Amino acid sequence: MNKRGRWAEHPELLRERSREGVIKAMTLESLEMGSKVIYNRCLPGGPWQRLLPGIILLHNNTPTERERALAALLYASPTSMITGIEACRLYGFRVPASSGNNLHMLVPHHLKVLSSEFVTIERTRRLPEPWSRDGLPLAPPVRATTDAVRRLRKAEPIEQLLIEAVQRGRCSPAALAMELDRGTKKGTAIPRRLLSEWADLRSIAEARAKTVARDLPVLPSHWNTEVYDANGSYVGCPDAWWDDIALAWEIDSVEFHFYRDGYARTLKRNTRYAAAGITVVQTLPSRLKDDPKGVLTELLAAYRAAAGRPRPAVAIARKAA
């Protein structure tokens, strides 16, 4: 068969007109390649493959995540952007393993683009200004996260993704809740509940701590209450506090806190606890999820030890009536 068209005379044009090997069929046709030639090259065993309607990948190996993303962007529209789970992954968030591999795309509401295969299209009147990561337009972290959690159905992966957004994406719980209020209410019950529970907590790790503490025979009497020694000097503000025996529980790590506090601050705090005679349990946030039984065992042992010694002369701050 005789080669015809500019693409045959200048095969380098195929790569030049593509985005890293991902190209529209109409672009191939503009290089004088017939639709039958395109079709034949995408047949099983051929040198190319069809990724989406009208979108061709110029090799027949398994497409990479980036190639899939480029294909979705070419398919959706020049003004589209990636949101949801894939955007969160590209921001560096640890995404739930069960979240699937569909690409969620935002497009202007007036465009009549339909979802297809691995691409879910959402037409929106609230199209944000995209953020760029590695040359890919993404919905801002707050929008990407809320778009993702709306489509998750279980509390644990929703909690995991919200924590990632707060800690790695620096999205405040208030900003996430506000974005949920702006969009559709479908799928927002669980993330709304979690965000409301976190509103009064200094760190999201304490949300998991409260869940673990429910299995204790004696629940903490206070959360985030200030403790003072016999002279009225400030000692600390433990995450959880058993006032009857002066037992403090601290969730200690930079892993879940908004900003990285210095190690020296933790040492000074623990020195104040020791000087005041307070028993303190320190727990890494990751253990609340990975080893809750071990955490409970440590808390029970500390509770028995604290209950077996005279209570030190410390007091919590009393709220005004």
Whole-Å CA distances, 298 to 216, 223, 295, 306? 11, 18, 5, 12
pLDDT score at 231: 92
pLDDT score at 1: 43
**Domain spans in the chain, listed from the N-terminal domain onward:** 6-61, 66-198, 205-316
Task: Please determine, for residue 262, whether its predicted confidence score (pLDDT) is greater than 60.
Answer: no
**Nearest-5° Cα angle at 272, 271 to 276:** 115
Domain 205-316 CATH class label: alpha beta
Contact of 81 with 106, CB cutoff 8 Å:
yes
Q: pLDDT tens, 149-205?
A: 999 989 889 988 998 898 778 788 889 999 999 888 888 999 998 888 776 555 567
Q: pLDDT tens, 60-115?
A: 999 999 999 999 999 999 999 999 999 999 999 988 887 778 999 999 999 999 99
Task: Please determine, for residue 221, whether its predicted confidence score (pLDDT) is greater than 50.
Answer: yes
Pairing of strands 315-316, 240-242: unpaired
Q: How far apart are CA 7 and CA 20, in angstroms?
A: 17
